[in-house]
Amino acid sequence: MYYAYKYRLKPSDAHREELDRHRDICRQLYNHALYRFNQIPEDAGTLNQRVRSIRDELPGLKGWWDGLSDVYSTVLQTTVMRIEQNITSLGKLKQNGYGVGQLKWKPPREFRSFTYSQSGFKLDKKGGQTVLCLSKLADIPIRLHRAIPDDATLKQVTLKKEPTGEWFATFGVEMDREPPEPPENPERCAGIDVGILTYAHDTDGMAVGSLDLSNERERLEREQRKLSRKQHGSNNYEKQRRRVAECHADLRRKRRDFLHKLSNYYAREYDLVAVEDLNVKGMVESPSNSRNTASAAWRTFLSLLEYKCEREGTHSVAVNPRGTTKECASCGVSTEKPLWVREHSCPACGFEADRDANAAWNILSRGLEDIGVGYSESTSSETLRGSDGLRKSLRDFRTPVETALPVDTPVSAKRVVEAGSPPLKREPSGER
């Protein structure tokens, strides 16, 4: 099992200067290696072979390149091999329908990290504090806010400078243990319907509100307006640019902290978690509500939930989201509903529930079908009604019931009315 542990460094001014120097040497080496790579014909070998041929030129480069010998050898090697990683990533994006071009030279502002691999680094105690010892660089104090497990092996460390000017160290860690196997017959199961106002609504009746970041966004907008009035390249411009970067970092950290805690809760509390496999890219490209969709970071939440479930031995199932809101969780009748209708009321079987709760049960039902969990033949045929029914086991949930319409017949939205909401069409006075 492989994990990443990220910690904040506390470098002095001298350390910062040395870190920046090593980072710039790696940037120049990357640009040189990219230039050499473009000169090699494609029929000269595979991608890995062509990049390795450039890596083998490093000993010769040190003879005429001043400063290259000041950087640890594995750092130089990983810098060259980054070309292979970037080209592979571009290939995956192209397969997913994204338009991609070619790799370009990196200016100083875009090359922010370098990596020690396998050797040249260690954690140590000096002067009563924990330091990160980096070969040919320095011993830099590090804020080790959580301990790395004793059975973990440090494989690599990546040093990265954020736009705010802060330095972070990310350790690649290998655990000498296998993840637990998910249970064959999961007992505690949850279906999760994600949204904007209510971020997650599950089948246990828990509704988690979205994180309120309105104050942070207002502050970001104020700082961005101030930045637009500064002269580009001046000292005041640089100071204001860092303030804007700090606002972006504050937003990102609070959002990821919320998503980490929420995904960790579901991964640890349940044996199976079913979610929608949303096309977030298409939803963000839609002209309506794209800002709130991007701010919700649903794809990040799904990615975090997936790896945490694997770590905890929990089933993580991504189901087709089509029709989960329209379909009745009790009888399966499809009912058209506009967005302002927040209550599900089935005209076929009379089942009433919150709109998001009904969708969560449909998601869970599809998730159980995907992993091959069936339903008991001796289940009751009683139709579920009210919030108490929603908390019943799914084995007593989707059972055959007598319906007024066939299951595959859509029902008009005029027959579904939310309590307290205005009618779709106001009737003339005096008529009923």
> Do 205 and 262 lie in a common domain?
yes
Say what percent of the chain tops pLDDT 90.
42
Is position 335 within any domain?
Answer: no
- Output the CA angle 337-371-346, nearest 5 degrees: 20
Q: Which of 101-105, 244-248, 326-330, 414-418 has the highest mean pLDDT?
A: 244-248
Question: Which of 175, 206, 229 is the C-terminal boundary of a domain?
Answer: 175
Confidence band, pLDDT 50/70/90 cuts, at residue 371: confident
Instruction: Please tell me whether residues 348 and 314 are part of one structural domain.
Output: no
| Residue 76 belongs to some domain of the structure | yes
pLDDT score of 238 more than 80: yes
Which of 151, 175, 199 is the endpoint of a domain? 175
The answer to whether position 111 is within a domain reads yes
Do the beta carbons of residue 103 and residue 90 sit within 8 Å?
A: yes
In-domain check, residue 38: yes
Considering the domain architecture, whether residues 76 and 141 belong to the same structural domain is answered as yes
pTM as predicted: 0.76
Q: Is the pLDDT of residue 424 over 50?
A: no
Does residue 284 lie in a domain region? yes
The phi-psi region of residue 350 (left if phi > 0; otherwise alpha if psi is between -120 and 50; otherwise beta) is left
Integer Rg of the chain from CA:
28
Same domain, 198 and 170: no
Task: Give the structural domain span for 315.
Answer: 189-319
Same domain, residue pair 108 and 24: yes
Count of CA atoms in the C-beta half-sphere (13 A) of 142: 26
Mean model confidence pLDDT for the chain: 80
Give yes or no for a contact between 157 and 116, defined as CB atoms under 8 angstroms apart: yes
Residue 284 · residue 294 · CB < 8 Å: yes
Pick the closest to residue 414 from 330, 354, 335, 322 (CA basis): 335
Residue 130 bridge partners (DSSP): 125
Whether 231 is covered by a domain: the verdict is: yes
- Rounded CA-CA distance 155/171 in Å is 7
Residues 6+ apart with CB under 8 A from 223: 240, 243, 244, 247
The answer to whether residue 429 is domain-embedded is: no
Are 72 and 198 in a shared domain? no
Per-residue pLDDT reduced to its tens digit, 67-121: 899 999 999 999 999 999 999 988 888 887 778 888 899 999 899 999 999 999 9
Task: Note whether residue 421 is domain-resident.
Answer: no
Residues 314 and 351 in one domain: no
What DSSP letter does each residue of 369-396 carry, written as one string? HHTT----TT---PPP-HHHHHTS-GGG
**Distance separating alpha carbons of residues 352 and 34, to the nearest angstrom:** 62
For the chain, how many structural domains are there in total? Answer: 3
List the beta strands (DSSP E) in 127-205. Answer: 129-134, 138-143, 152-161, 167-175, 189-194, 198-202
Domain match, 273 and 348 both: no
